[in-house]
């Protein structure tokens, strides 16, 4: 397997994929190691995670550079991702005790009752490339704290980062027979589906997620899916500071080159502020610095995958055919690397794929609406259900819209954000189950009910 730098198209490294036999061996070693890990007191398991947390900071320069080289993320955003991952780890360090402790239900009755939380066993963590640290720590940190063995399959586009993660976990004291990386593409992931694992925790596309759910259903083990989105943002006509709303919406649309699961993917603007919003949005988008992602001033780097260029081109062409007006961008830069500049289409409508299927790039459609009711109807017109954002100075009016969203997350005057203390969950085609918050701690354990007499 070749690791390619998307900014230069140069091969960074050739790396061997794991064969199904090698993956089976890794599984067998976890089978042996996991019971001893589960017997290690929770506090000691957390101590290893504290060391990992410190190592991420100690090595941040190397880790950020590797991440930028293999996925094309602007360097400053790689540093931000590491910081964000550390914040999430800190949450797990501080809160796992409380949610994994034995829970007495009745202590004084003749029959005493308690709940004990036991690990699931050995889980698969099949991961995406767009935020390998963030989406990784959502799973492998609480899984390890909960006493599980982890088969960690980083995306083939973030393999070197996956190898760093494994190295640092070992350095932090996680035993080798408790955490194993699986190197490879979809076939390596497929091999995990054939093994008798005790849970499947997947982050990635709807298509693969659904395939995994279908192919593991007969095992009757937990399956969690964090999938894509087509997240809307609605600008009401009472917003006062159009400048800062446009700034936030633009950042939500293009951060990480638009490759975020909760990226702003479509914007609806009330007709009273539509023209002002577009002028401000486009003039800001024009100023974004696109170029070498290793340069700290760069705001837009290359897309991570070459195929995405054609995909985005099709969306732009389709939008133009359906009445869209292209105000900025519209095609890849004619140079080496997978660079696609910020692209803005106005006069958007729901006949366009740009407004209905996940773009996963710095391409955005903006549609005019006449009132909140029309906005709500359009925002809900999607098979996805990850997030939805509303900008308004009136909380009641915004709340009325937020209540009608069938999404796991809603935002008022903010967007494209994830918080460790809140559940991260998608509805409909955006996923199943939740990570983060206390739910994301409990997701990796199973309850045992004790009925005690005597």
Size of site (CB under 6 A) for ligand TXE: 31
**In the complex, minimum distance from the CB of residue 184 to ligand TXE, in angstroms, rounded to a whole number:** 7
Q: Which stretch binds ligand TXE (CB under 6 A): 33-41, 45-53, 102-110, 200-208?
A: 200-208
Q: Which stretch binds ligand TXE (CB under 6 A): 3-11, 33-41, 208-216, 367-375?
A: 208-216
Q: Tell me how far apart the alpha carbons of residues 365 and 276 are, in angstroms, rounded to a whole number.
A: 16
The strand pair at 199-203 and 179-181 is best described as unpaired
Q: Tell me how far apart the alpha carbons of residues 79 and 134 are, in angstroms, rounded to a whole number.
A: 12
Residue 175 neighbours by CB under 8 Å, 6+ apart: 33, 36, 37
Using the rule CB under 6 A, is 348 a contact of ligand TXE? Answer: no
Of the candidates 189, 187, 171, 188, the residue with the CA atom closest to the CA atom of residue 179: 171
The strand pair at 325-328 and 363-369 is best described as unpaired
Binding test (CB under 6 A) with ligand TXE, winner from 330, 341, 385, 431: 431
Using the rule CB under 6 A, is 227 a contact of ligand TXE? Answer: yes
Task: Give the residue numbers marked as catalytic.
Answer: 226, 261
Using the rule CB under 6 A, is 80 a contact of ligand TXE? Answer: no
Q: Tell me how far apart the alpha carbons of residues 84 and 96 are, in angstroms, rounded to a whole number.
A: 18
Q: Tell me how far apart the alpha carbons of residues 5 and 70 are, in angstroms, rounded to a whole number.
A: 5
Using the rule CB under 6 A, is 145 a contact of ligand TXE? Answer: no
> Which neighbouring-strand residues pair with 218?
none
Site string for ligand TXE, 167-196 (x = CB under 6 A): ------------------xx--xx--x---
Binding test (CB under 6 A) with ligand TXE, winner from 5, 78, 127, 382: 127
Q: By C-beta, is 135 or 405 nearer to ligand TXE?
A: 135
- Show the tokens assigned to 362: 């710095």
Q: By C-beta, is 33 or 132 nearer to ligand TXE?
A: 132
Q: Which stretch binds ligand TXE (CB under 6 A): 161-169, 199-207, 273-281, 307-315?
A: 199-207
Residue bearing tokens 């409909």: 428
Binding test (CB under 6 A) with ligand TXE, winner from 156, 357, 372, 416: 156
Site string for ligand TXE, 377-396 (x = CB under 6 A): ---------x----------
- Reported as half-sphere exposure (CB side, CA atoms, 13 A), residue 146 has a value of 29
Using the rule CB under 6 A, is 252 a contact of ligand TXE? Answer: no
Binding test (CB under 6 A) with ligand TXE, winner from 6, 119, 149, 204: 204
Q: Tell me how far apart the alpha carbons of residues 82 and 77 are, in angstroms, rounded to a whole number.
A: 9
Using the rule CB under 6 A, is 68 a contact of ligand TXE? Answer: no
Using the rule CB under 6 A, is 211 a contact of ligand TXE? Answer: yes
**In the complex, minimum distance from the CB of residue 76 to ligand TXE, in angstroms, rounded to a whole number:** 20
Q: By C-beta, is 88 or 368 nearer to ligand TXE?
A: 88
Q: What is the dihedral of CA 96, 98, 99, 103, to 10 degrees?
A: 140
> CA geometry: angle at 184 spanning 181 and 190, to 5°?
95
Q: Tell me how far apart the alpha carbons of residues 205 and 161 are, in angstroms, rounded to a whole number.
A: 20
Listing DSSP states for 409-437 in one string gives: EEEES--S---TTS-EE-EETTEESEEST
Binding site for ligand TXE (CB under 6 A): 126-131, 135, 153, 155-156, 185-186, 189-190, 193, 203-205, 208, 211-212, 226-229, 261, 358, 360, 386, 426, 431
């Amino acid at each position: 397997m070749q690791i390619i730098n998307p900014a230069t198209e140069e091969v960074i490294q050739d790396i061997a994929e794991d064969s199904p036999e090698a993956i089976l061996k890794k599984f067998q070693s976890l089978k042996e190691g996991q019971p001893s890990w589960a017997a290690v007191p929770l506090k000691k398991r957390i101590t290893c995670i504290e060391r990992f947390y410190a190592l991420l900071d100690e090595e941040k320069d190397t880790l950020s550079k590797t991440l930028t080289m293999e996925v094309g993320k602007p360097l400053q955003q790689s540093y931000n991702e590491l910081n964000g991952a550390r914040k999430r780890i800190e949450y797990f360090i501080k809160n796992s005790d409380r949610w994994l402790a034995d829970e007495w239900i009745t202590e004084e009755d003749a029959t005493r009752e308690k709940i004990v939380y036991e690990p699931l066993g050995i889980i698969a963590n099949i991961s995406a490339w767009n935020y390998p640290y963030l989406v990784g720590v959502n799973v492998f940190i609480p899984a390890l704290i909960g006493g599980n063995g982890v088969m960690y399959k980083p995306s083939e586009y973030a393999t070197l980062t996956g190898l760093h993660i494994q190295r640092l976990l070992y350095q932090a004291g996680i035993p080798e027979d408790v955490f194993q990386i699986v190197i490879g593409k979809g076939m390596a992931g497929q091999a995990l589906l054939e093994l008798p694992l005790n849970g499947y925790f997947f982050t990635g596309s709807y298509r693969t997620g659904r395939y995994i759910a279908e192919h593991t259903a007969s095992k009757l083990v937990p399956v969690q899916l964090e999938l894509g989105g087509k997240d809307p943002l609605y600008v009401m006509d009472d917003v006062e500071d159009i400048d800062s709303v446009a700034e936030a919406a633009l950042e939500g649309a293009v951060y990480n080159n638009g490759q975020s699961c909760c990226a702003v993917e479509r914007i609806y603007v009330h007709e009273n502020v539509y023209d002002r919003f577009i002028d401000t949005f486009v003039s800001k988008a024009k100023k974004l610095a696109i170029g070498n992602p290793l340069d700290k001033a760069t705001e837009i780097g290359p897309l991570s995958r070459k195929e995405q260029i054609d995909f985005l081109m099709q969306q732009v062409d389709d939008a133009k055919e359906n009445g869209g007006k292209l105000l900025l961008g519209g095609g890849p830069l004619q140079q080496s690397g997978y660079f696609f500049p910020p692209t803005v289409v106005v006069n958007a409508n729901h006949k366009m794929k740009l407004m209905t299927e996940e773009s996963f790039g710095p391409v955005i459609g903006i549609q005019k609406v006449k009132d909140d009711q029309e906005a709500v109807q359009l925002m809900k017109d999607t098979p996805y259900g990850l997030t939805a954002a509303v900008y308004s100075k009136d909380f009641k009016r915004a709340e009325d819209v937020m209540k009608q969203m069938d999404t796991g997350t809603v935002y008022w005057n903010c967007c494209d954000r994830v918080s460790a203390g809140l559940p991260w969950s998608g509805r409909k085609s955006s996923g199943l189950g939740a990570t983060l918050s206390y739910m994301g701690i409990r997701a990796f354990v199973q309850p045992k009910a004790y009925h005690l007499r005597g």
